[in-house]
Amino acid sequence: MLSTKFHLPRDSNLPWDDDDLFGVSFGNENLRLIGSCNGFICLLNGSRYDENHSVYINNPLLGEYFKVKLPEWEKRVRGVAYAFCFSEGSGQYKVLRSVIRKFRGRPEVSELEVYTLGVDEKWRNVGEAPYPLCGSFGNANVNGVLHWLKDDENTKISASIYSFNIGTEEVKPLPTPLGLKTPSLGLMLAEFGNSLCLSDKGDLWWMKEYGIAESWTKDRILTDSILLDSRYKRFIPIMTWKDGEILMQCKRGTQLVSYNPKEKKFREVNVHGSGTAATRYIPSFYSLKTVMGESFQVSNAYPKTEIV
């Protein structure tokens, strides 16, 4: 069974004052957020290095969920990583995963596999990633394309961006800002305002024209304005408030802050409860059966509520 809670920031001005409305609580498992698309949430239960892990698709507003059938774990598999995405062109939802396999006498290889919800009966192999992909990826979905930074612990190598076209299922490199020398470990990649965004400890980069290296523009964050206990941490932009402030989450932390670009100042955002991941979420009343088909069995975390 599953167990997780979705918490709302107190500044959200949403019409609900009880975070249990989004509470999907039916067990005591360890769930991690993979991604969110159009009101549907993809969750990982367990460790991606353990063959007993599970993947679920969930509509927290309706309390619906189902378990995605995963391929049989092979002995040569060293680990997996997942992404959840939506193609506006085809109207299809897909779960993408990178499977790291070790072959005798060869380096580790990351093979990409795709499962299209409501269409595929089995996972499909769509080729190899350009390098072993073991961390989180695909959190930045822009123009129907998933993006991620190349995992590299070498701090002398500049960052590289790769993309996966959800429609064509092709992997391609994407240009980084001209002159950028920061390694991948010092950067975060995200979708923000329908644009691709790079962030580090003091700068936010925006790709104004998709795919054009010269279109990257930089907005410097005044580090002196960052809260003392947050200084030198990297922040991931999530959404823009109505007043123009930017909601951001601290990387590898639970802290949320709101940044005022005009005043160059931060302020803390209080959250109901605690959490480890934040995402922009728009509730949906569409049942998972609209994706999987009416004949597909969908489970419910709590009794259905009649909508009048």
List the beta bridge partners of residue 190.
Answer: 197
Q: Is residue 45 part of a domain?
A: yes
Cα-Cα-Cα-Cα dihedral sign, residues 141, 143, 149, 150: positive
Q: Is residue 307 part of a domain?
A: no
Helix or strand holding residue 115 (H, E): strand 109-116
Q: How far apart are CA 79 and CA 283, in angstroms?
A: 32
Asked if 286 contacts 64 with a C-beta cutoff of 8 angstroms, the reply is no
Q: Is residue 277 part of a domain?
A: yes
Tell me, yes or no, if the pTM score tops 0.85: no
Q: How far apart are CA 249 and CA 132, in angstroms?
A: 27
Amino acid at 257: V
Q: Is residue 308 part of a domain?
A: no
Question: Residue 39: its pLDDT value, please?
Answer: 92
Q: Which of 143, 136, 133, 219 is nearest to 174 (CA)?
A: 143
Q: How far apart are CA 75 and CA 135, in angstroms?
A: 20
Q: What is the CATH number of the domain that holds 110?
A: 2.120.10
User: What residues make up the domain containing 209?
Assistant: 2-300
- Quick one: residue 163, left, alpha or beta (phi over 0 = left, psi -120 to 50 = alpha)? beta
Measured CA to CA in angstroms, residue 269 lies from 90, 227, 249, 254 at distances of 38, 12, 10, 11
Q: What is the largest CA-CA distance in the chain?
A: 63
3 by Cβ neighbours in 10 Å (0-12 / 13-18 / 19+) ranks as: middle
Question: Residue 95: its pLDDT value, please?
Answer: 95
Scored b (16 or more CB within 10 A) or e, 162-191 reads bbbebeebebeebebbeebebbbeebbbbb
Q: Are strands 92-101 and 77-87 parallel, antiparallel or unpaired?
A: antiparallel
Asked if 116 contacts 93 with a C-beta cutoff of 8 angstroms, the reply is yes
Block means of pLDDT (10 residues each) for the chain, 308 residues, are 47 40 49 89 89 92 92 86 89 91 70 93 88 69 86 65 91 87 78 85 84 88 55 72 82 72 80 67 89 85 55
Amino acid at 61: L
Question: Residue 15: its pLDDT value, please?
Answer: 37
Q: Is residue 91 part of a domain?
A: yes
Asked if 100 contacts 129 with a C-beta cutoff of 8 angstroms, the reply is no
Tokens at residue 207, please? 């790709």
Q: Which of 278, 276, 273, 275 is nearest to 258 (CA)?
A: 278
List the beta bridge partners of residue 195.
Answer: 192
Question: Residue 92: its pLDDT value, please?
Answer: 92
Q: Is residue 306 part of a domain?
A: no
Amino acid at 153: E
Number of domains in the chain: 1
Q: Is residue 305 part of a domain?
A: no
List the beta bridge partners of residue 64.
Answer: 59, 300
Question: Residue 59: its pLDDT value, please?
Answer: 93
